[in-house]
A = this chain, B = another copy of it.
Amino acid sequence: MRPTPVFEQLGLIGCGLMGGSFALALKQAGLVRRVAGYSKSPSTLQRARELGVIDVEAPSALLAVSGADLVLIAVPVAATEDTFKAIRHLVGPEALVMDVGSTKGDVVAAARRSFKDKLAQFVPAHPIAGKECAGVDHADARLYHGCQVILTPTPETRTAQVDRARQVWTALGAQVRQMSPEAHDAAYATVSHLPHLLAFAAMNAIGAQPQAQEFLELAGPGFRDFTRIAASDPSVWRDILLANQAEVLAQARHFRAALDTLEDAMRRQDAAALQSLIRQASEARARWRLGGQADPSAPPESP
């Protein structure tokens, strides 16, 4: 593998947790000389500079990308298309442009509509990382270390740009995979978007009952982990669930069918059927490992 390129300037659009962590990680790895940042919120922008996440406060997205050979769009998914329009005219012909959105079909469609000839330089990316706590104050140079990053290049994207994107994320300690935007959205509807929807529903179902407070006080570590993702950012998840609506609803139908089967076994007091259904789930989960390193012979992980 060739040495990881060192970039002259990162143009960072959006200085929250994801963008801020990327900038910090690049700096720490010595892969960028200067970070010009833009945030729609002046206080976030100022804070990003105070924290050393960015070096220059750009007065607009357009000016942040001016002179940049690497551009990261780390704004809410719903704001991505406006960002493409805003920066298009000053993205240099060799600049690598990436985003970090959790859905890819909608981002690629927006790029096709609004990024025009720059589409060849755009490598849509989805780092499987995050925290419930958003904002530049939680930016962390180690956020992407050990995580997976999915690249979903369009047919128009130049291979050289995909290679550079792969090198950058690998240098930050991530494990890079590549797939089509459609395959990405189907997979993440299953393993991320639906779980979030279910966790939101589980919290709301408790909240709708008069004994909610009493119930919640009794909850233990299993509940803590099961519902952790329910604390995620409402506007981010509104956008994700709407952008990937069809796939998420399709996965919700699979989930309801599996729940029906379990409930039926309970209603029939069919102990053997119920145990067999639980064993399927338990064995599948015990075999699973973060990052795809499943080991069929391994014992279940410690909690």
A residues whose Cβ falls under 8 Å from a Cβ of B:
128-133, 147-148, 150, 177, 186-188, 190-192, 194-209, 211-212, 214-235, 237-238, 241-242, 245, 248-249, 251-252, 254-259, 261-263, 266-267, 269, 271, 274-282, 284-286, 288, 290, 292, 294, 299-303
Contact = CB atoms under 8 A, between A and B. Distances in A.
**Residue among A130, A245, A259, A276 with max Cβ neighbours from chain B (10 Å):** A259
Contacts of A229: 222, 225-226
B219 A281 contact: no
Contacts of A207: 280-281, 284
A231 B201 contact: no
A205 B257 contact: yes
A3 to B, nearest CB: 29
Given A282-B231, A285-B230, A290-B224, A206 B191 contact: yes
Nearest to A228: B225
Given A219-B288, A222-B229, A238-B275, 5 more contacts: A131-B303, A133-B299, A191-B219, A212-B284, A232-B282
Contacts of A198: 198, 202, 226, 259
Contacts of A285: 199, 203, 227-228, 230-231
